[in-house]
Chains A and B, each alone.
Chain A
Amino acid sequence: MRRNLWMSLAAAASVAVTMFLLGVFLLLVFNLNYMASQLQSNVEIAAFLHVDTPREVVQHLEAQIKHLPGVREVVLVPKEEGFRKISRQFGGEEELLSATGGVNPLPDYLLVRVNTPEEIRDIAGAIAQLPGVEKVNYGQEVVERLFALVRWLRWLGAGLILLLASGAVVLIMLTIRLTVYSRRQEISIMKYVGATDSFIRWPFFLEGLFLGLVGSGLAAGAVYGIYTWLLSRSFNLFLFLPLLNDPALLLKSLLGLIGAGAGVGALGSLLSIRQFLKV
């Protein structure tokens, strides 16, 4: 009985750790996805033109780009304005001018905003083909790296969780096995007096389910507590972007954790029952 108690605690704890990590991974992935899409929807295309492109050509290009499908807005940033922006970081226009020998080396550029982030790559490509356009920049790398990180995290998370979940399933199996062992007399008598298999198995199934639910309930509680605490401290995940504050999604994730824990418990007991309760 005592051994069984420890075993049960170990099984529930193992479900708890697994589900806690699953929760952390889920929320991390949700946040990174959220961040990536935030970034992406703010992304603009900067189309740098050849230096010294005549203003009429620039205006023609501006009109051309405006007519590309998917483009929402085009803003011309003349080289003077560009120079002003940069010089602020270099201690003033005069200093910068003297450093560049009195000329403004910058090109004009067009800031292009698009309707849907998914089209940004195609539109940027189309713009790059236009005559007079030197180079196109759209912060693509940051966004793509972020998505790659999310993908990678998903695999890592899935692998780790699967490993831990198998451990939890095994612990639950062993726990149920101990219970079966400690109650083998009762089980054989149940069999002799004609109890149905499902009647005999049901309590063991419930035990596994219960262990899974206790473990994942603890995990869900911990995840909820920590996440809301971070939110209340307006914790920032990376530098500047705030944590995703979506109570519905959080609730769904927590319910998912509890469901997964119940699943682990049920699976553990079913496997154990198959193995040890040949009645």
Chain B
Amino acid sequence: MGLIQFYNVTKLYPPDVVALENITLKIDKGEFVFLVGPSGAGKTTLVRLLFREELPTKGQILVGGRSITRLKGREIALLRRTIGMVFQDFKLIPDWTVFENVAFALRVIEVPPREIKPRVERVLDQVGLLSRAHLFPHQLSGGEQQRVAIARAIVNRPRILVADEPTGNLDPDTSRKIMALLQEINAMGTTVIMATHAWDIVNSMKKRVIALRAGRLVRDDREGVYGYEA
């Protein structure tokens, strides 16, 4: 049984945008999946459906075998605790330190206060930023800021990590480091889904590639490479 299943999922935005059309796919526990396609292909829309930020216009989405389209209130919050999110623009709070930015994710899901410090320190160590815990985001490089965002996304140990163009703002060298970190997180058992249109990264990783174009699923390759026409 797949950890994530989409059945004939269609997402329309009024008046006439077909953001996703009839998408069926399955992602298993522990997989590393690239979601590729040109800008406007529907990658972000797919992520937002998975995250229950949007509801599909048609079709079913299951996470861990449970339909997420009928969740409400607290159940949505609980679903989101099982999915860590990372964005292109990091979304760190500028006037909080690295430590506070990561701790926030635990505080707001009401983790007991005495557990917070050790957990934040452990995850900052994991992303290699423990020595920078007291700095503010603007004192860090872009790659470091993205690692803070990743630390925040995984600090509550989600089963799934979703990164929407996480290297979009980073130079190639820094991107490689971020990819190494994501691979490491995946190796520890977390399912990783990364939306990107950076074909060089995709090609170097030899992972599963799901390609979208104009809202349609056009390719799903194990150990795929990414080319617009392939």
A residues contacting B by CB (< 8 A) are 185-186, 188-200
B93 touches A196 (CB 8 A): no
Once A192-B80, A194-B81 are accepted as A-B contacts, the answer to whether A199 and B108 lie under 8 Å apart by CB is yes
Contact for A193 among B73, B74, B93, B152, CB less than 8 A:
B152
Q: Which residue of B lies closest to A192 (CB)?
A: B85
Alpha-carbon separation in the docked complex, A198 to B76 (Å):
12
B81 touches A193 (CB 8 A): yes
A189 touches B91 (CB 8 A): yes
B91 touches A193 (CB 8 A): no
Residues on A with C-beta less than 8 A from B80 are 191-194
A/B interface sample: 28 pairs, CB < 8 A? A185-B91, A185-B93, A186-B104, A189-B91, A189-B93, A189-B104, A189-B105, A189-B152, A190-B108, A191-B80, A192-B51, A192-B80, A192-B85, A192-B91, A193-B80, A193-B84, A193-B85, A193-B104, A193-B109, A193-B152, A193-B153, A194-B77, A194-B81, A196-B73, A197-B74, A199-B77, A199-B108, A199-B109
State the 5 A-B residue pairs at the shortest beta-carbon distance, nearest first. A194-B81, A194-B80, A195-B108, A193-B105, A196-B77
Alpha-carbon separation in the docked complex, A194 to B105 (Å):
8
Residues on A with C-beta less than 8 A from B175 are none
Tell me if B78 counts as interface (CB < 8 A to partner A): yes
Residues on B with C-beta less than 8 A from A194 are 77-82, 108-109, 156
Q: Which residue of A lies closest to B156 (CB)?
A: A193
A199 touches B93 (CB 8 A): no
Q: Which residue of B lies closest to A188 (CB)?
A: B91
Tell me if B171 counts as interface (CB < 8 A to partner A): no
Residues on B with C-beta less than 8 A from A193 are 80-81, 84-85, 104-105, 108-109, 152-153, 156
Residues on B with C-beta less than 8 A from A198 are 74
Interface size on B, residues (CB 8 A): 21
Q: Which residue of B lies closest to A189 (CB)?
A: B91
Tell me if B110 counts as interface (CB < 8 A to partner A): yes
The minimal Cβ–Cβ distance linking B107 to chain A, given in whole angstroms, is 9
The minimal Cβ–Cβ distance linking A203 to chain B, given in whole angstroms, is 11
- Besides A195-B108, A198-B74, 10 more A-B contacts (Cβ < 8 Å) are A189-B104, A191-B80, A192-B85, A193-B153, A194-B77, A194-B80, A196-B73, A196-B77, A199-B109, A200-B108
The minimal Cβ–Cβ distance linking A252 to chain B, given in whole angstroms, is 38
Residues on A with C-beta less than 8 A from B74 are 196-198
B77 touches A195 (CB 8 A): yes
Alpha-carbon separation in the docked complex, A129 to B118 (Å):
94
Alpha-carbon separation in the docked complex, A185 to B87 (Å):
13
Residues on B with C-beta less than 8 A from A188 are 91
Alpha-carbon separation in the docked complex, A185 to B77 (Å):
17
Alpha-carbon separation in the docked complex, A194 to B156 (Å):
10
Q: Which residue of B lies closest to A190 (CB)?
A: B108
Alpha-carbon separation in the docked complex, A217 to B103 (Å):
36
Alpha-carbon separation in the docked complex, A107 to B165 (Å):
106
The minimal Cβ–Cβ distance linking B169 to chain A, given in whole angstroms, is 17
Residues on B with C-beta less than 8 A from A186 are 93, 104
Residues on A with C-beta less than 8 A from B78 are 194
Residues on A with C-beta less than 8 A from B104 are 186, 189-190, 193
Residues on B with C-beta less than 8 A from A191 are 80
